[in-house]
Structure 1
Amino acid sequence: MLVIHQNKQQKRPGKTSLRKLAEVSIQPCFTLFSHPKEMATSSSSSSSDIGVILNELTCPVCSELYKEPTALPCGHSFCRVCIEKSWENREEDTGCVCPNCREVFPQKPKLKKNVIVANLVENMKLKEGKVGLEVEGQDAEHGDVNVKEGMKSGGSESYCELCNGEAAKRCVPCEILCCEKHLKLHQQKGHKLVDPGVKIEELRCIEHGKPILLYCKDDESLMCITCTGGEHQDHKIVGVEIAHAELRDVLAAKYPHVSKSMRSVASKLRQVQKEEEKTENCSRDAEDSLEEKRRLVCQFVNESVDLMKSEINKRKMEKLSLLGKQREKLEQQMEDLRQRKSTMDTALQDLEAISFLQGSKDLLKRLETMSDFNSVKRTPLPVLDFSKEEKNLDKLVTLNKNFLEKIQKGPVEHPEKVEEAPVEHPEKVELDQNNLRRLYGRSLSLDPNSAHRRIKISRDLRTVTGTGTRNHYPEHPDRFDCLDQVVSRDCFSSGRHYWEVDVGSSCWWGIGICLNSMGRKGGKSGLGMNPESWCLSKCNNKFSAFHNKQRTSLSVPGDHERFGFFLDCEAGELTCFGDSRVLHVFRGNFTDPVKPAIGVYVDGSVHFVHLVK
């Protein structure tokens, strides 16, 4: 039973109480159009007329009751303030536009007060001010609760606006959130219900702001009741529920075909995945086999070279021994000749004939006792000739080069046959810098966050320059704080990589690699001065290899400006090149992430060379 009480205080309620009054007293327009059988009954009720009147007394701009309603020449009315602001906020100077019908007025029309509408608004406010709403017992609209004016959930989007309970649905035509208890009457009247999080604006016509109830099949667009009188007048229009059901039927008819296609594609996908796994396994097995063959080939070459070097040293020592004996005899002969010449010089300086003749007999006897310098004959010794052994190695290198060229031209048709001929294995070619540059060349860049403050990094992140002065770099845990060093941004833990470094005329530098986990603080962070780094170094024209404070002197003829580095992570080797020859080979566990590193310890520049394969 709906009970209407006279308020003791004449309070002018706002839009909220008007909205409640309309909700209690009228049947929403959504229900009228969704249920044609109820249309006649509802149209005869006075409460429906009140709802229509209330809607007509609302400003389309602010959705509030008109405040000083003003009519435009097109017939539409707005609050004077609303229409004035609407024209003030327009971005383009295209005249004054009606916000409702979009009619354009080239000049600002003279605004006149709509007296009839203003009187209706005042009467509605007076009537509402005299009436307070309180529902006792069974609420005619919202069920078994009391609904009082202004009862809201504090603006929350998750609570029922009638009892502050947890909201289950939102009623579209009533524009309120309802709990399960208060949904019953809305469901009985066929109101459209949506989830609480759905925005009402998305369910309203963009052009007219009214609920979307219809669907145009010709244009495949959603529309409200007002849209039927426009461009959709002769189109085929159905309710949204009917269109929904028809579309569901269409999708349901296509569903088996899509499911069948999915099963077919899934089957093919499984086949591809199996083939990928098989390819990975075959590739892994082939690489393991090639690695073993490379080890054998390298071992064979290393043993051959070591044996030849041993034989060279043996023959060298034998020849040097014979040459030493000849040298000693020739030196003795030279001493005898020197004494003979000294005696003759002394005799020839004596100008007195008598004196010269007196000593000549003794002089001739002394000369006769001297050994004859022609008595020592130099026997020719055999030349050290290893041309035959070198030709054998040249044949091996040539075979490897030919094999590499075949691989570069295209895929090998029968890799298993290649494995049967380890002499043609391409790994030996990796020691040639041109092939290394072409196959594994890398263009590295420096990490500015690791640079010591006494060095400067170029903009292209390739050149390191020692400045001797401290630069203002921000603090960073990766920055070296003691030694003038920097590491690369690139980090390697697998595969093969080759890069080159141009040292120019720098006289003191260190180049190599370090574990990414190597400390960057203190004196122990020097390249080659700890177990986590390996370094090729030049200091005062002397070259050395450093690792864990162990120094190995290197013989580097000439003054090279470019050095190459080949890192084979799986083999655990770092090969250092200078002028196309191997200077040193470091060995270690390079499957842990390592980074190339550079140290410039005096003024000068060193930079990574940009390699183009």
Structure 2
Amino acid sequence: MASADLSQELECPVCLSIYTDPVILRCGHNFCRVCIERVLDTQEESGGYSCPECREEFTERPTLQRNIALRKIAESFLSTQPDQEEAGVFCSNCVDSSVKAVKYCLHCDVSLCGKHLRVHSKAPEHVLCDPNTSLENRKCSVHKKILEYYCTEDAACICVYCIAGQHRGHQVEMLDEASEKKKKKLRNVLQKLMAETEEAEKRVQSLEEHKRKAQEKADGETERVTALFRDLRRRLDDLEKRVLSDIMRQAQQVTQSYNDVIRQLEIKKEELSRKMRHIEELCNMTDPLTVLQESDTGDLCDTEDRERHDKQLHDGGDLDVAGISHTLHTGLSDIMSGQTSGLPVYADILLDVNTASNDLHISADRKTASQADRRQNRPKTPKRFQNDQVLSRQRFSSGRYYWEVDVGGSDKWTVGMCYPSMARRGDQSVIGCNNKSWCLYRYYNQYSIVHDRKDIRLPDKIPSDRVRICLDYEAGQISFYALCDPTRHLHTFTAAFTEPLHAGISVWRGSIKISGGIRGGERSVHW
């Protein structure tokens, strides 16, 4: 019991623990240096200082004098105490024996064992906590009372004395009530965060699926292009071998022809040399009779032999370069026509004046559409647009095509593809504002991809005045590209086409021009 009494005498009134570096105020009360400095810092904001124990007021911040004697007593006491974790906290009501406490009542400032806890008041103000819990944050640092209230204006937990003091006139709530309100707000925030997390997870899954499909498509294209070039190399190797073999064969024939003529000429040279020697002998003879009786030496110029040699060299004495070139060009043409048959081809787009709005001017070559200076007086037909739009004369029901547009002459335009059944009047007649059209749209410096009124804003300005539109009807794809260096892919629509498609354009300022041309006339383009 003496130890327990000494322990109470050595407790700091603020932290309720054994003094640590104790200091003394002018009024004679002792505190831990850290505890009293924290209290004085809090009082400094209110403009006055006072002792937390006796409430004596000071005109200036009091000087803290170290209490050396008290510090030695506290240190000596702590050295004689068993480890706190082993000793634990004992019940304040068990005066005859040391019984470990199971709870601590903040209201009564007592530790309770299981027996005394059962008979303890269950009123709401009797807040119970773990007996080893630090009480420094549970009690008011100024008044040493339980923090039972919450000041909504200062967002601070306060005691009953604070209500009449520093927080006089403020909106005050019970801690439980304030806690429930905060929990309600936190639950609302939690619900929003859970919804955002779920949405983010869905987007991640969607993006992962798009990434997977894009990778699969890239892998498929890589395999297709690799196979194409592998086949090209094989065909080129075969063509090279065939052409080189033809060249070698012809070279052997030419060499053989020249060798035959050279051999015949060598034989002819020997015969001529023999005749020359015989003639020289006759010329050196002195007997006229012998010279005159010698037989004729024959014709020295054998014209038939020369003509025969010339014909022999003409027939096989030179390479057939024209034939080799023909074989080479024919082979290359066959290879390219076989390998590029599946690639997109240019579409020679011509604008259909019968669909053009009377606010558009269509050039004589049917390639350029521009905002008309005055309204055109064209006949009213079911195909004519009320809005500033026009479709192409061509319609595409199969195949792969692309066409290009020079949009440098306007800053407000639309280019895309449309079904012929698209409305010609009203909101549903605007390209992109229905489920029968797909387009790239520019409004001044803002670019968007639009289908069925769903607007996908492009993040950057298109770095080119030329746009390419590609159609793969069987694959159900319409793609848009900016023809810069390198070519930039803008967007690809995917759909199951149920009608033929026409090229469509709108222009509200300036003009835009179509370019391109079909090679060889495709059967899937209908006029």
Q: State the TM-score, normalizing by the size of structure 2.
A: 0.39
